[in-house]
Structure 1
Amino acid sequence: MIESIKSEKQYFYHYTKAETALDFILKNRNLRLGSYDQTNDPKETKSWKFNFGTNENRDLSKYKMEELSAWLSFELKGKAKLLCFSMDSAPLTGNHLNDIFNRGYCKPRMWAQYGQNHKGVCLVFDRSKLDKLIYERFSHDQILSSSIEYKNRGIAPNLYSADDQQYMINIDHLENVGPEQYVYDHLMAHHKRLFFEKMSDWRDESEWRYVVFSRSSDDLYLEFQDSLVGIMFGDDTDDQAVSDIMELTKGFGLRYMGLKWKNCSPWYDYGNLRYMPGMQNSPWVKSSTGITRNSR
């Protein structure tokens, strides 16, 4: 999880509040897939505005642009459930002294925004195991997954580019195949631009996401089983929260570690005895105030 890691494709990282991790994720041993329109990115929360056109002189007067636009926006976004992770960044040399700045659990912006301002946790998942579980669990749904491309685009599309038609409804194709098939075809043709592209200001998230298009309006959950391999605690995670989380997960076979900032740089809390393998059940642990007796 920390030392001698040379592949940036080995782990996924999920930042969350300590309370959420303790009371929901780790207690229930599952991850919730959130609605796509409940993120903090206006591109994803706002209804998409589509234009429409024809290359075959179809009668466009029978269509109302606002209604047709709202229909396609809902069909694409309303059924989409989202699960997001951060990734490691290349290169990883295996020297954790230098690699720490490329690790997915060491992103100050992510700790501040999603990790309870450094009071939360970062859950570490085995990427290949988690990927397999997702495709098995949602095998009857449409699943799309990819890293995010970070790119700024102006408001005016290039109407002559086939790659720039994600907000254009092709009335010719709609009338030929019908509404249900059209939604699927539009998704397949434009999913990269619609679901896997964000402005460059988000680039430090190094995001990988799964989008599951479910027929159900209910929340979706993924049992992560043995894909969870470690937990990283934030610089200001409460000692009691650390103890409670480690107690709850003591049979999971996890690696635990904390991050501590010293001056300008983060580093691992190697001096904390509670994170040493085999020391979780020791009567003595090191807290932020020194070595104390373990309350457990």
Structure 2
Amino acid sequence: MNSNIPDVFKDQDTIYHYTALNTAIEHILFEKQLRFSPRVHSNDPIEFLKSIGGKGGAYRDIEQMQEIEIRTAVDADTVSLELKRKFEQAKQLCFCQNESVKNQGQTNFDEEYYGFLKPRMWDQYGDRYNGVCLSFSKSKLLEIHKDLSQEIEYLPYRRLYKDASIRLNELDELGYQQYSELAFEKMVRDLSKKHIDYSGECEFRLYSFSEEQYEYLDISNAINGIIVPRRNLSKFAEQQLTQFSKNMNIQMLYLNWRSDGISVTTLEEDERVYKIVMKNLETLKINS
């Protein structure tokens, strides 16, 4: 049904970002940048690292515990404060990926393969099917954003536990610098855990821990597509998106939900059909 989908959307390098129509037109496409969202704005309560602090460890006996606690007191407090500060500064950009495939040589896939054809994503993040999905080259985004990135790990409830305590025996053994780096890496992994019910999102994230209130990512050379539902699309919005597509030389797809699933039409196909219809109407007018 959708064998006409351009190859760029089949590529494992292509990732997708769902957003509201106005946000896409007025900010992302016009300003050619994406804004990182503060971590604290996440709606998923399980995503939050509940506490950063606490101290623990494995000791031979009480005497060893007391000795290690004394030696690591200052470093432990410093690590704890640094992690707390980074957590509060955490910002993220979320993308949806195509499903992974064993046969990388395939050229045609089921609709469920594509990251831009996920109903729950359109419902939750695409303004209830009235928004826009923008596609990007993952590798080009990573060339621009050289900070942390992470694929989301989907886990059942019993494995979502996040231990944020400072392990004093490890801190004592590794030293402040190495332990603080490993603790930060662990915090990022914990930030990237979600319940398995979200696994269909195939999420990929970019992280920023800058001290600035807002962080932006230039997408000029990374964006490669615009996907928009026909549903409730105004003529003005369609003209704006079409203009962006042509000016930026990127693909544009129209989505139409139907009783038997979904159809995908490229901008070129849509314009070709429109010209044929108008020509036929003109012919009928002349002959009438």
Q: Same fold (TM over 0.5)?
A: yes
Query: Aligned AA for 1:82?
Result: Q
Deviation at 1:132, TM superposition (A): 1.0
Out of 210, 213, 222, the residue aligned to residue 209 of structure 2 is 213
Q: For 1:219, what is the secondary structure of its paired residue?
A: coil
CA gap of 1:191–1:199, structure 2 versus 1, over 3 A, is: same
Specify the alignment match of 2:285 in structure 1.
none
* 1:222-264 superposed Cα distances (whole Å, 9 cap, x missing partner): 1111211110002425133122222244310011111111114
Partner residue, 2:158: 154
- Partner of 1:16 in structure 2? 19
Q: 2:256 aligns with which of 253, 260, 266?
A: 260
2:123 to 91, 109, 112: 112
Q: Tell me which residue corresponds to 1:140.
A: none
Q: 1:230 aligns with which of 201, 225, 241?
A: 225
2:66 alignment partner, one of 58, 62, 79: 58
Deviation at 1:117, TM superposition (A): 0.7
- Structure with higher Rg: it is 2
Does the CA contact (< 8 Å) of 1:259 and 1:269 recur in 2?
yes
1:85-234 alignment to 2 at 5 Å? 85-91=95-101, 93-95=106-108, 98-135=109-146, 143-154=147-158, 166-173=163-170, 177-178=175-176, 182-192=179-189, 194-214=190-210, 216-234=211-229
The separation in 1 between residues aligned to 2:80 and 2:186, in whole angstroms, is 19
Question: Identity percentage over the alignment?
Answer: 25
- Contact 1:34–1:82 under 8 Å retained in 2: yes
* 1:17 positional shift: 0.4
Gaps of 5+ in 2: 282-288
Amino acid paired to 2:123: A
Partner of 1:41: 44
Q: How far apart are 1:102 and its partner, in Å?
A: 0.6
Stretches of structure 1 that go unaligned for 5 or more consecutive residues are 136-142, 158-163, 292-296
Give the number of equivalent residue pairs. 260
- Greater Cα offset, 46-55 or 112-121: 46-55
Q: TM-score, normalised by structure 1?
A: 0.74
Q: Which has the higher contact order (CA 8 A, sep 6+)?
A: 2
The structure with the largest helix share of the pair is: 2
**1:37–1:46: 8 Å Cα contact kept in structure 2?**
no
The verdict on how the C-alpha distance between 1:189 and 1:119 changes in structure 2, with shifts beyond 3 A counting, is closer
TM-align CA RMSD: 3.5
